[in-house]
Amino acid sequence: MRVTQSMLSQNMLRNLSSSYNKMGKLQEQLNTGKKVTRPSDDPVTVMKGMGYGMQVDKVEQYQKNMGEVNNWLDSSDDALDGVGQVLQRLKELATNASNTGAMTESDRSAIKTEIDQLREHLQDVANTKVGDKHIFSGSMTDKPLYNKENKSFETGDAYKSDVSIEVFDGVNLRVSTDVSKMFSDIDGLLDKVKDLTGNGSSDDGNSFGKMISDIDGQLDVVLSKRADIGARSNRAELMHNRLEMQEGAAKKQRSQNEDVDYEKTITDLITSESIHRATLSVGARIMQPSLMDFLR
Amino acid sequence: MRSTFMGLETSKRGLYTQQSALYTTGHNIGNANTPGYSRQRVNMQSTSGFPGVGMNAGTMPGFLGTGVEAGSIQRIRDSFVDHQFRSESTKLGYWESRSNAIAQMEDVIGEPSEYGLQQSMSDFWQSLQTLAANPENGGARAVVVERGAAVADSFNYIYKSVSEIKGNLGDEIDFGTKTINSLLSQIGELNKQIATVEPNGYLPNDLYDARDGLLDQLSSLVPIETSYEKTGGRAPAIAEGTVTVKIKTTGDAITVVQKTDVSQISIDDTDDGALPDFMTGFTFSGGPADGEQLSVNEMVKSGELKSLIDSYGYIDADDNEIGLYPDMMTKLDKLANEFAKEFNKVHQQGTDLEGKPGLPFFVANDSGEFTASSIAVNEVIRKDPNKLAASDSTTGAEVGNGKNAKNLGDVFFAKNKELDGSSVQGFYAQVIGQLGVEGQQAIKMTESSGTLLLSVSNRRDSISSVSLDEEMTDMIRFQQAYNASARMITVMDEALDKIINGMGTVGR
């Protein structure tokens, strides 16, 4: 075939531009760390990448939600621990008070005062706030469970309704604990003990005895509530671990799908660079000489 | 009987002819870098021998050569390769324009990136989840409203950008038809000049080159067929004649240039110069195709013009609206519509902070169906995020109830019949995937047709382009022949000197 200067220069130009193109692509990949920057680079990777990206965002969000779950459960458990202590103290007081023979008037009034304090403490616990949420108010988180105006614990359905937080696709953890009945029962108990103490009656100690067993009953209720919270905490812990695994898996999938393999890409770049250099040097050699250079 | 000076005459012809060849070599060298130039060659031929043939011609041994003349100056070109070149150029024109149109669309859609619709939907979902966990938090509400607005904005922005590019494509179609018209007129003009020159026995090589260049340009826009008609008169046998240009269609080709008759093309329904939403075709006026129509359906799928139309959108034989850009816009509209409708449905099932049923979260600007351009967040909710219906309470206000916020988040992943059974998120990923596949195909086709065109172009150059080395070699050949002819004259001169000054002096 007859070969002319214009063919050589055209071919060289095309070779140069295609190797520049390749290097540009590699440069982009190395700069962004991503194999693809537009759908036409690799439609499948881009499409999968969109799904994986969503997955990573989801897991991230669920982890945030998990923090919220722990917040609720830990605070609820702490608060119920406080309730337990109130009951223990009440039991001690009731036991003391039942010993009517040894009780002086001032002892009784001291017990009454302490019971008043316990009551207030109990009301405070019932109105425990985490952030701006009353955690024992069901879904009425803006309202305290103990209503100071009515001097009673709220009993509406909404105060008992469950609050749950999604921690994985379709997996919801209940974070609220329905304690409104428990609080009002304990409150009633406090009242009774106070009354009995005030009367100083109960010659046979029967009423106090019943009282103490009632207190024990409430302690059981508190314990079972705490056990429930503990069980949910365990489940949260499991979910937490699972989410961490999921996070790893999702990020790994995303990375495998769209991240650049630096070793490979840099090697490719070096190869392309060598080819580019060769193209340039061959071009420079071939374009230069012509018969002109050798004619006088 | 030959004349005394015949040798001088023979050598003189040699001088002239070699000189012509040298001049042509110079012309070739001069035009070595002229685009579209085909190298020229002096076709030398020996002049008719002596004596001439006739009754009264004297007899002598054989014919005595009388030298050389420049028979014609021909450009070196292969019309078959031209044909191949043009057909590849048409394909490249199509795919180059298509990959360009797709690349522009990819640019505005901006996936995958941290600024695309996908990311804003993902952010929106996250904010809904945060709201579900903290429904009493005013900040979380405000974030949901703003993220929702960001989703609406993304839809609006993408749609607007896509339709702007579509408008530009319309301008390009307009410009393309103007270019075609100008090329056709120029080809007609060249036909006219060629038809004037050829009958006088000349070969207008530069006019042929110019005309071939125009045909090359035309071929990248529309698929063409060419044929040639002799001009008659004293035209040399190798004269090309006038070109007849036809635009290929799926049926009969439409003749647009015949001799000096030229048709012009105009887009249908564009009296006001603005393109209709969808094209239907072209009408020809004047020249051989006067009054003929070319519908888009009959256009062959090659050439830049057809590619632009495929991107811009047209009405096919069954009255369907087809086109890359309109398709994308339809899909965006559908996605925006289904998403907004489903989202509103769930939102309206919930109750807001005050226990009132949810308002529509999204509204259409023009209060009709939701489209990608009309979707917006309800101003009432925007002003008062407490109107977000995060709760599923049926009895009244429940501040800490975020169940509906969670349901709202689920809208992204719920299968939707109207979206071919995909979820909102899935449908969008599919749209992007499909765009990518089409883009990838266009790029591949551009590359392969570009490579083919280059190889055809190389073949053409191998035949027609100027090689400086070759011209230098020719230069030496012709120079030596010229010198030798001059030397021949010196020899004749010496011989004549002998005859004139040296003969008939016997005994002097």
Tell whether the model's pLDDT for residue B317 goes beyond 70: yes
B106 versus A197: the higher-pLDDT residue is B106
Tell whether the model's pLDDT for residue B25 goes beyond 90: yes
The average pLDDT across B173-200 equals 96
Interface probe with A: pick from B25, B41, B136, B408, most Cβ of A within 10 Å: B136
Convert B478-491 to b/e letters by CB count within 10 Å (16 or more is b): beebbeebeebbee
DSSP B266-308: EETT-TTSSPPSSB-EEEEESGGGTT-EEEGGGB-S-SHHHHH
Read off the pLDDT band of B103 (50, 70, 90): very high
Read off the pLDDT band of B2 (50, 70, 90): confident
Helix then strand then coil, % of chain B, to nearest 5: 55, 15, 30
Interface probe with B: pick from A2, A25, A28, A40, most Cβ of B within 10 Å: A40
Contact residues, chain B, for A140 at CB < 8 Å = 398-400
Residue listed under structure tokens 């109960």: A202
Quote the pLDDT of residue B98: 96
CB atoms A132 and B136 under 8 Å: yes
What Cα–Cα distance (Å) separates residue B19 from each residue in B15, B24, B37, B304, B478? 6, 9, 22, 46, 7
Work out the percent of chain B whose per-residue pLDDT is above 70.
98
Tell whether the model's pLDDT for residue B146 goes beyond 70: yes
Report d(CA A142, CA B137) in Å as an integer.
10
pLDDT in tens, B471-506: 999 999 999 999 999 999 999 999 999 989 988 888
Which of B419, B444, B256, B227 minimizes the C-alpha distance to B332? B419
What is the number of alpha carbons within 13 Å of residue B337 lying toward its C-beta? 14
Read off the pLDDT band of B105 (50, 70, 90): very high
Selecting from B401, B403, B432 the residue whose C-beta is nearest the C-beta of A46 gives B432
Tell whether the model's pLDDT for residue B97 goes beyond 80: yes
Residue B244's DSSP bridge partners are B227
Residue pairs spanning A and B at CB distance below 8 A: 184
Find all residues with CB under 8 Å of A296, minimum gap 6, and list them. none
Report d(CA A167, CA A69) in Å as an integer.
8
Are residues B326 and B167 in contact, defined by beta-carbon separation less than 8 angstroms? no
Interface check B189 vs A, CB under 8 A? no
Average pLDDT, chain A: 88
Quote the pLDDT of residue A287: 79
Quote the pLDDT of residue B96: 96
Interface probe with A: pick from B401, B407, B410, most Cβ of A within 10 Å: B401
Read off the pLDDT band of A285 (50, 70, 90): confident
pLDDT in tens, B251-275: 999 999 999 999 999 987 655 556 6
Contact residues, chain B, for A161 at CB < 8 Å = 398, 401
Selecting from A46, A142, A172 the residue whose C-beta is nearest the C-beta of B112 gives A46
Contact residues, chain B, for A3 at CB < 8 Å = 462, 467
Is the preceding peptide bond at B199 cis, omega within 30 degrees of 0? no
Report d(CA A39, CA B122) in Å as an integer.
19
Question: Considering only B50-54, B109-113, B371-375, B486-490, which range has the smallest mean pLDDT?
Answer: B50-54
Are residues A29 and A260 in contact, defined by beta-carbon separation less than 8 angstroms? yes
How far is the alpha carbon of A157 from chain B, nearest alpha carbon, in Å?
9
How far is the alpha carbon of A128 from chain B, nearest alpha carbon, in Å?
14
Interface check B266 vs A, CB under 8 A? no
Selecting from A43, A58, A140 the residue whose C-beta is nearest the C-beta of B440 gives A43
Q: What are phi and psi of A111, to 5 degrees?
A: -65, -40
Tell whether the model's pLDDT for residue A10 goes beyond 80: yes
Contact residues, chain B, for A141 at CB < 8 Å = 135-136, 399-400
Secondary structure class of B129 (helix, strand, coil) = helix
Quote the pLDDT of residue B318: 83
Average pLDDT, chain B: 92
Report d(CA B245, CA A184) in Å as an integer.
99
Contact residues, chain A, for B102 at CB < 8 Å = 40
Report d(CA B173, CA B179) in Å as an integer.
10
Convert B208-230 to b/e letters by CB count within 10 Å (16 or more is b): bbbbbbbbbbbbbbbbbbbeeee
Question: Considering only A195-204, B122-131, B188-197, which range has the smallest mean pLDDT?
Answer: A195-204
Read off the pLDDT band of A181 (50, 70, 90): confident
Residue B68's DSSP bridge partners are B46
The average pLDDT across A22-42 equals 93
CB atoms B103 and A38 under 8 Å: yes
The average pLDDT across B401-427 equals 91
Quote the pLDDT of residue A212: 84
Residues 138-157 of A with CB under 8 A from B: 138-143, 157
Tell whether the model's pLDDT for residue B61 goes beyond 60: yes
Are residues B38 and B205 in contact, defined by beta-carbon separation less than 8 angstroms? yes
Tell whether the model's pLDDT for residue A201 goes beyond 60: no
Quote the pLDDT of residue A291: 81
Quote the pLDDT of residue B365: 74
Read off the pLDDT band of B377 (50, 70, 90): very high
Report d(CA B154, CA A93) in Å as an integer.
67
pLDDT in tens, A40-91: 999 999 999 999 999 999 999 999 999 999 999 999 999 999 999 999 998 8
Interface probe with B: pick from A139, A175, A258, most Cβ of B within 10 Å: A139
Residues 91-120 of B with CB under 8 A from A: 99, 102-103, 106-107, 109, 111-112, 118-119
How far is the alpha carbon of A52 from chain B, nearest alpha carbon, in Å?
11
Interface probe with B: pick from A145, A166, A167, most Cβ of B within 10 Å: A166
Work out the percent of chain B whose per-residue pLDDT is above 90.
77
Quote the pLDDT of residue B274: 62
Quote the pLDDT of residue B272: 55
Quote the pLDDT of residue A149: 86
Tell whether the model's pLDDT for residue B57 goes beyond 80: no
Quote the pLDDT of residue B271: 53
Are residues B33 and A6 in contact, defined by beta-carbon separation less than 8 angstroms? yes
Interface check A42 vs B, CB under 8 A? yes
How far is the alpha carbon of A99 from chain B, nearest alpha carbon, in Å?
47
DSSP B149-206: HHHHHHHHHHHHHHHHHHHHHHHHHHHHHHHHHHHHHHHHHHHHHHHHHGGGT---HH
Report d(CA B311, CA B101) in Å as an integer.
7
pLDDT in tens, B221-243: 999 999 999 998 999 999 999 99
Tell whether the model's pLDDT for residue B173 goes beyond 60: yes
Report d(CA B424, CA A200) in Å as an integer.
72
Interface check B133 vs A, CB under 8 A? yes
The average pLDDT across A141-163 equals 86
Which of B415, B351, B431, B340 minimizes the C-alpha distance to B388? B351
Selecting from B132, B400, B443 the residue whose C-beta is nearest the C-beta of A140 gives B400
A156 versus B378: the higher-pLDDT residue is B378
Interface check A292 vs B, CB under 8 A? yes
**Of how many residues is chain A composed?**
296
Question: Considering only A17-26, A76-85, B196-205, B498-507, which range has the smallest mean pLDDT?
Answer: B498-507
Contact residues, chain B, for A57 at CB < 8 Å = 122-123, 125-126
Residue B256 Ramachandran class (φ > 0 left, ψ -120 to 50 alpha, else beta): alpha
A195 versus B434: the higher-pLDDT residue is B434
pLDDT in tens, A229-281: 999 999 999 999 999 999 999 999 999 999 999 999 999 999 999 999 999 99
Report residue A60 CA to chain centroid gap.
8
